[in-house]
Amino acid sequence: MNIHELNIAGLKVENNVFLAPMAGYTNYPFRKMCRDLGAGLAFNEMVSAKGLAFGSEETKRLLYTGEEETPKAIQLFGSVPVLMRAACESEDLAKFDLIDINMGCPMPKIVRNGEGNALMEKPKLAEEIISECVKSGKRIAVKFRVGVKEGDRRAAEFAKLCEGAGACMITVHGRTRDKIYAGPVDFEQIREAKEAVKIPVIGNGGVWNDKDANKMFERTGVDGIMIARAALYRPQVFAEILEREETPFSELFPVQLKETKKLYGEHFACVFMRKMAAFYLKGRRGAAEWKRKLFSAETTDDVALYAAEIFGGSEGVKAE
């Protein structure tokens, strides 16, 4: 396994196994848990350049970080170069050491707005956005896919475009937009992107365990890996890949619940942690019945009690 410290334009990262930005999930308590389990870098969920420009409180809520989060990284999306640069230069993003531009999101709402993966179909605009953001003086990374539809081979060309515009790192998701998150990962295109540039290249897609991580490294030669959905089902995947002790859910869940409630309040914590417990149930016997009970819970205390029954343990189970 090719685990090592990574230097991103002078930014030293403890290891090269990252938590991907995931809208609606990578809030502070979840990031902290993944960092504690070994993630070398954990991205805040993506924020809108327009949202920042118009002072959206909902957007600003996504910017919260803890003092111990070092380095700090966030993902930014948008399609207007001047607004993207303004966001990078804003006080809102001043504390972040690395800003990743989303050019990979396949969701129809984002693509219809000309954002996310739609930018791969407009290379000149994509290049201008990256170049403008680089002028802010911040470290700028780009996350994109290998193409738009099956048969596309855009990864290497787009990687060179990003490097030429000034990006200091790229992350390549090994599927085309039309595949969303399903189907095999195109390791060959990720390898071609890696060979096309000199900046660090991170491989993303299909990494669920240490064997998958090793396959990504061996077949692509990437400088690091980025984990997304696997972390939602089993955040211990970071410890597994890094060969560290895996903390059980009986210890992880109560802490995550308490910190989520403390930061976001009772209602958000109840809804969010019901959802997270359902993820963590993947593969367990009786999961369907436990999910039914979880989604009937109306308070965080109810969620905590069900979680204690599911995962075991009772110490500090209430979300005080």
Lookup result for tokens 């993902």: 75
CB atoms within 10 A of CB 228: 19
Give the burial class of 31: count Cβ atoms within 10 A of its Cβ; 0-12 exposed, 13-18 middle, 19 or more buried. Answer: buried
Determine the residue type at 278.
A
Determine the residue type at 57.
E
Cis before 71? omega within 30 = yes
Q: Give dist(CA 41, CA 62) in Å, integer.
A: 17
Strands 11-13 and 6-8: antiparallel
Three-state DSSP at 204 gives strand
Q: Give dist(CA 169, CA 5) in Å, integer.
A: 15
Q: Give dist(CA 238, CA 232) in Å, integer.
A: 11
Catalytic pick among 34, 88, 105, 168 = 105
Q: Which two tokens stand for residue 149?
A: 């539809």
Instruction: State the DSSP H helix or E strand holding residue 146, giving kind and residue range, or none if neither.
Output: strand 139-147
Lookup result for tokens 């939602």: 232
Q: Give dist(CA 174, CA 184) in Å, integer.
A: 8
Q: Any catalytic annotation for residue 105?
A: yes
Strands 201-204 and 224-227: parallel
Residues tagged active-site: 105
